Structure 1
Amino acid sequence: MKFELNAKRLTLATLLALASFTAIPTGHAYAGECPADEVAANGMQPGEMMPKDVTDELISSIDLSSKGDAWKNNTLRLRKLVVQPGGVVPWHSHEARPANIVIISGSITEYSSTCKVPIEHKAGDATAESGHLSHWWKNNGSEPVVLYSADILPPAMDANEAM
Structure 2
Amino acid sequence: MMKPVLNTDRFSFAALALAALAFGAGLPATSALAGECPADQVAEDGMTPGPMTPKGVTDTVIKTIDLSSKGDAWKGSMLRMRKLVVQPGGIVPWHSHETRPANIVVVSGSITEYSSTCKVPILHKKGEVTAEFGHLSHWWKNNGKVPTVLYSSDILSPEMHDDNAM
TM-score normalized with structure 1 length: 0.84
Which of residues 81, 84, 87 in structure 2 aligns to 1:81? 84
Give the corresponding residue for 2:125: 122
Which of residues 6, 15, 18 in structure 2 aligns to 1:11? 18
Give the corresponding residue for 1:112: 115
**Structure 1 residues 53-108: Cα deviation after superposition (integer angstroms, max 9, x where no partner):** 10000111100001111101100011000000000000000000000000000010
Q: Is the 8 A contact 1:103 1:123 kept in 2?
A: yes
Shift of 1:31: 1.3
Q: Secondary structure at the match of 2:40?
A: helix
Change (3 A) 1:17 1:123: closer
Q: Secondary structure at the match of 2:144?
A: coil
Give the corresponding residue for 1:51: 54
The structure with more radius of gyration:
2
4+ aligned runs moved over 2 Å, structure 1: 12-19, 158-162
Q: Percent same amino acid at aligned positions?
A: 68
Verify: 1:156 aligned to 2:159, yes or no: yes
Q: Secondary structure at the match of 1:156?
A: helix
Change (3 A) 1:76 1:50: same
Shift of 1:161: 2.9
Distance 2:140 2:69 in 1: 34
Distance 1:87 1:18 in 2: 30
Distance 1:139 1:94 in 2: 20
**Structure 1 residues 103-162: Cα deviation after superposition (integer angstroms, max 9, x where no partner):** 000010000000000000000000000000000000001100000000001111144433
Give the corresponding residue for 1:138: 141
Change (3 A) 1:152 1:35: same
Distance 1:17 1:141 in 2: 25
Q: Is the 8 A contact 1:79 1:150 kept in 2?
A: yes
Shift of 1:18: 6.1
Distance 1:99 1:159 in 2: 17
Q: Is the 8 A contact 1:108 1:145 kept in 2?
A: yes
The amino acid of 1:67's aligned partner reads K
Distance 1:55 1:33 in 2: 25
Verify: 1:72 aligned to 2:79, yes or no: no
The amino acid of 2:66's aligned partner reads D
